[in-house]
Amino acid sequence: MTELAAPRPLLPDDPQQRAVAEALAHFGMGDLAERMGIELLEVGAQRTVARMPVAGNTQPYGLLHGGASAVLAESIGSIASALHAGPERIALGLELSCTHHRAVREGWITATATPLTLGRSVACYDIRLVDEADRPVCTARLTCMLRDA
């Protein structure tokens, strides 16, 4: 399988969301997400999308590690929450729940976060992870507390 070049993130139109997205692009997503090869494809409070290679993120049986799926889900849900919160606020994860549906041995996993609720102090996102055939791999729900920076 040929490896695809990393796509450039699609930035939101809203100036405040663009400022947060550009800060994320400048500072990165954090050491763990970078070590796992997570790549942002689209960013926004209403929809954030990223992908992660299976290679390097497996458990001893050669399958995608459930913890890797959780890291991908929390990473993009937190980014989407931060975009909703705005540049003067931060998003802190409160709860993450994941249900794993399918084993994956190779390729890429794509995750899409969409909001369930967006409040002043809490944001909750539904995150769907799919394989390259668009089959469900994992569904997750992330709740973040929003507070002043």
What's the pLDDT tens digit per position in 85-103? 998 999 999 999 999 999 9
More confident residue, 56 or 12: 56
Max intra-chain CA distance, the chain? 45
| C-alpha span between 126 and 139 (Å, rounded) | 7
> ∠ CA 109-114-117 to the nearest 5 degrees?
145
Query: Where along the chain do its domains lie?
Result: 15-148
Tokens (6 digits) for 104: 């994956």
pLDDT tens-place string over residues 36-71: 999 999 989 999 999 999 999 999 999 999 999 999
Q: 118 and 45 in contact (C-beta within 8 Å)? A: yes
Query: What's the predicted TM-score (pTM) here?
Result: 0.85
- Cross-strand bridge partners of residue 140: 98, 127
The residue from 22, 42, 74, 132 that is catalytic is 74
Is residue 74 annotated as a catalytic residue, yes or no?
yes
Band (pLDDT 50/70/90 cuts) for residue 30 is confident
Fold classification of 15-148 is: Thiol Ester Dehydrase; Chain A (3.10.129)
- pLDDT surpasses 50 at 4: no
Grouping H, G, I as helix, E, B as strand and the rest as coil, residue 40 is strand
Q: 55 and 15 in contact (C-beta within 8 Å)? A: no
pLDDT at 61: 96
**Any idea which of 68-72, 79-83, 137-141 has the lowest mean pLDDT?**
79-83
